[in-house]
Amino acid sequence: MLLIPAIDLKDGRCVRLKQGDMNEATVFSDDPGAMARHWVEQGARRIHLVDLNGAVAGRPRNESAIRTIVDSVGGNIPVQVGGGIRDLDTIERYLDHGIGYVIIGTAAVKNPGFLHDACSAFPGQIMVGLDARDGRVATDGWSKLTGHDVLDLARKFEGYGVEAIIYTDIGRDGMLSGVNIEATVRLARALRVPVIASGGFASLEDVDKLCAIEDEGVEGAILGRALYEGKLDFREAQARADEVGA
């Protein structure tokens, strides 16, 4: 089980939000590059980046910080990034600078043709972020709840050739209330591509629960607030995942 520390970027700083509310941002670091190096030193095998301003604006807003992070990890581990990615030029620019995977969220829902083109142009490097509340997909930095069913969209996007689906239960994100195991495994069972869980990760108990469904197609999990508030030690969590999942 791959555990992936998240670095959420707002105005060039590392923050965490509660349920995606930009007004509920807690700043954890003014140095994104140093934060990325910290997670690498703790044994991270991948870093997850979100351009929060970009997700709201519909275009990248923290590219400078993202480039700093990529340069800081020196190509030692893959970096995946999402937030405000709406065109092929942005994807190409990110990949050219060393980003390993690009995550398309709102644009995949609103413009499936763009996602299809992206998967064709950059095979193996496009993931989709599906953020849902009660099974319904949200867009625009979680500010708008659509009528789309998460399972239906995931199956559709799988057919386009996405590398993985990142599934976030937005009702749990940043709340330290535990991963929504039931919804995550239901999605994973419906797909052939891997699912990465996100939202609510809080303890080693969540590690155990996720490892128990790894064979269902849950490849990894994104960790945020629990790490930054010291409720979970990343090195210990990844070691536990390696042990339980062995």
Instruction: Return the pLDDT at 246.
Output: 63
Instruction: Return the pLDDT at 8.
Output: 94
φ and ψ of 5, to 5 deg: -70, 140
The pLDDT tens digits of the residues spanning 86-139 come to: 999 999 999 999 999 999 998 999 999 999 999 999 999 999 999 888 888 988
The pLDDT tens digits of the residues spanning 185-219 come to: 999 999 999 999 998 888 999 999 999 999 999 99
Residue type, 134: D
DSSP 67-118: HHHHHHHTTSS-EEEESS--SHHHHHHHHHTT-SEEEE-HHHHH-HHHHHHH
Instruction: Return the pLDDT at 100.
Output: 97
Write out the two tokens for 203: 């303890």
Catalytic residue IDs:
8, 131
